[in-house]
Structure 1
Amino acid sequence: MCICINCHYVDQCITYHAVEGQHQQPHLTEEPSFEPVGPTINVNIRNHGTEMEWDVVGCLSFKQETGKWARLRPGELVPT
């Protein structure tokens, strides 16, 4: 699971913006301005390379704000 959904910077983060693009999901913001320090991304490749799952699993800039993504997108399923 991507740690970004519980990060204070999720709606401003350049890295999360890229992950949204990889998942073909709508962006929380069109012009993110926060450049995180040391993000670590896991990329899982499935179905002989036809599907890729991108998850930020670590970041030196991570600042816990539980439920931040859900508050920004009320009523939508939280990404897993």
Structure 2
Amino acid sequence: MCLCVNCAYVDRCETYYEVEERHSQPHLTQDPDFTPLHPVINVNIRNHGREMEWDVVGCQSFKLDMGHWARIRPGLAVPT
């Protein structure tokens, strides 16, 4: 699971914006204004390169805010 869903900056983050792009998901913001320090992204490649899963697994700027993503998008499934 992308650690961003529990980060205080998820709705402002340039890296999370790029992850949304890679997954063809609607953006939490159209104009991210937060540049995180040293994000670490795992990319899992499946089905002989036809599918890619992007997950932020580390970030020096991470600030815990449990459920931040869910509060922004109430009623929607939290990305895994």
Q: Normalising by structure 2, what TM-score? A: 1.00
The answer for unaligned runs of 5 or more in structure 2 is none
The answer for unaligned runs of 5 or more in structure 1 is none
- Structure 1 distance, partners of 2:43, 2:31, is 24
Q: Percent identity?
A: 68
- Structure 1 distance, partners of 2:38, 2:16, is 13
Structure 1 residue 15 displacement after superposition: 0.1
- Structure 2 distance, partners of 1:59, 1:44, is 18
Confirm whether residue 18 of structure 1 aligns to residue 18 of structure 2: yes
2:62 counterpart letter in structure 1: F
Structure 1 residue 35 displacement after superposition: 0.1
Structure 1 residue 60 displacement after superposition: 0.1
- Structure 2 distance, partners of 1:78, 1:9, is 16
Paired residues for 1:1-80 under 5 Å:
1-80=1-80
1:50 counterpart letter in structure 2: R
